[in-house]
Amino acid sequence: MFKQNYPSLLLQNAVDELASLPGVGRKSALRFALHLLKQPKENVERFGQSIIKMRGEIMYCNNCNMISDTPVCKVCSDLKRECSLVCVVESVRDVLSIENTLQYNGLYHVLGGIISPMDGVGPSDLSINQLIKRVEEGSVTEVFLALSTTMEGETTAFYLYKMLNKFPVKISTIARGVGFGDELEFTDEVTLGRSIQNRQPFVPLNQ
């Protein structure tokens, strides 16, 4: 009776599109569509247009590749930031996570992915040449690799290390160890072993 169980082609198209969002199945997509149908027309217009406008008009910072409303992003154009320190991350989301800690005051470099031969992503698919150019220019003194502790993250970090090693820059990485709130009992052996080898001077919290 219904074409693919939907009473309307317009509804079906909207559900098809909404179901393309990550982690959204057809049931949730239908729920979203029926919710949108109940909203005032102008709200739904604004909903759709905000997404189209974002995709059409957003820019990527010429310097660090971060999303931005301007050709150079707010971080890169902020004079209070330490411009000799560059934190290399996989994605825009990592920048947001690091900004939320309020512990970092340098610049960023968004790779736009991670080296992953399994997914067909090689060094040339990432903004690595742009990073090397930034280092070559000479104002960068430390490159801080904040990549995931996965196989792909480690591979990418090693590749970047090989490429940047010839320049007079310090190359650092995020500290590995047992997370705050984690129990030793449930920490894997590699992490625990490394965090014994790399034990640090004791600093009480809140200091």
Q: Contact positions toward a second copy, by CB under 8 A?
A: 1-2, 5-11, 13-14, 16-18, 20-24, 28, 30-37, 39, 41, 44-58, 66-69, 73-75, 78, 91-93, 95-96, 99-100
Cα separations (Å) of 107 from 18, 63, 89, 158?
A: 35, 10, 11, 21
Give least dist CB 181 to a second copy, A.
Answer: 19
| Token pair belonging to 32 | 């979203």
Angle between helices 151-164 and 128-136 (to 10 degrees): 30
Give least dist CB 21 to a second copy, A.
Answer: 5
User: Shortest CA distance to 61 belongs to which of 90, 92, 82?
Assistant: 92
User: Shortest CA distance to 83 belongs to which of 151, 10, 143?
Assistant: 143
Give least dist CB 177 to a second copy, A.
Answer: 25
Q: Which is nearer to a second copy, 45 or 198 (CB)?
A: 45
CA separation for the pair 66, 73 (Å, rounded): 7
Give least dist CB 167 to a second copy, A.
Answer: 28
Give least dist CB 41 to a second copy, A.
Answer: 6
CA separation for the pair 94, 96 (Å, rounded): 5
Q: Which is nearer to a second copy, 63 or 164 (CB)?
A: 63
Q: Which is nearer to a second copy, 74 or 194 (CB)?
A: 74
Q: Which is nearer to a second copy, 127 or 164 (CB)?
A: 127
| Token pair belonging to 156 | 């990418």
Q: Which is nearer to a second copy, 46 or 133 (CB)?
A: 46
